[in-house]
Amino acid sequence: MAEALDISTDNCIIEKEGKTLIVTLNRPEAKNAFSPEMLLGMYKAWRRLDEDDDLMCAILTANGDTFCAGMDLKAGAEGHRSTQEFMELMGTVPNIHWQALLRDDRPSKPLILAVEGYALAGGTELLAGTDLRVAAEDATFGVTEVARGLYPMAGSSIRIPRQIPYCLAAEIVLLGRHITAQEALEWGLINRVVAKGGALAEAKKMAAQLCETGPLALKAITRSLRELGTDVPEAEAMLKSDELANPVFASADAKEGMRAFKEKRKAVFKGE
């Protein structure tokens, strides 16, 4: 049973379901285009994910038939009316919008994306900041900023070429081409394609698997995946990987995991 959290906003519903945080974009009347209320909710959600030791992972999804259309271009031409709390936070957290959009200071735990319908511009930029990705068969992706004379500032031109082959990434960010869920799967941009309406349920299955793992190991492996990519020389990456691994192997959780395997029972991890 999901528990609604008081950090939710009108445009971003945040719930806790077991050890999983569920973050739902909630501006379907505007195709879930970004608003200050939405960014505020996402920012608070990612910080809660980091701070709450009971949480193991998060799912990012959306209400309505469009996952996210990115920046609100209708409002963008005239400037966006921001909420007071969002503006006040920007005074102390100037990159709050980039934290919300997973460009800066991503939470240390895995993020699962569950997409139904269109995920264009900022919608696909959010995708590039997640770790596991599920899409309904009707999903469509694309980084369309170039067609509007804009630049994808949330990181797509940096991250996507590191996640899929260069020429395919160039086709996305230079041509602004829309790609189907099946193409995204074949290109390696997403993990799974499911029937329409089934993305969140599949994401919850992934989350359930993550929540059975050791918390310390999960965070360390997530850091390794994100920080030790092909741009880091192999020898250097191995040394940094050892730095991440050593505290995990020295933990009580590691001993519990090996003991549980020997005793043929389910491990009881405590994050210690």
Could you state, in order of their start, the residue ranges of all structural domains in the chain?
A: 3-210, 215-263
Kindly list the catalytic residues.
Answer: 125, 145
pLDDT for 209: 97
What pLDDT does 78 receive?
A: 45
C-alpha to C-alpha distance for 18 and 54, rounded to whole angstroms? 8
* Whole-angstrom distance, CA of residue 82 vs CA of residue 80: 6
- Identify the pLDDT of residue 72: 81
Maximum pairwise Cα distance, the chain: 65
For domain 3-210, give the CATH number.
Answer: 3.90.226.10
- pLDDT tens readout for residues 100-116: 999 999 999 999 999 99
CA distance 43 to 100: 4
| Contact indicator for 14, 23 with CB cutoff of 8 Å | yes
For the four alpha carbons of 246, 21, 139 and 82, in that order, the dihedral sign comes to negative
For the chain, list residues with pLDDT below 50. Answer: 76-79
Q: What is the pLDDT of residue 101?
A: 97
pLDDT of residue 201: 98
CB 97 within 8 A of CB 86: no
- The sign of the dihedral angle between the CA atoms of 18, 210, 45, 91 is positive
pLDDT at residue 238 in the model:
96
* pLDDT for 47: 98
Lookup: tokens for 243: 């730095």
Place of tokens 């949480």: 55
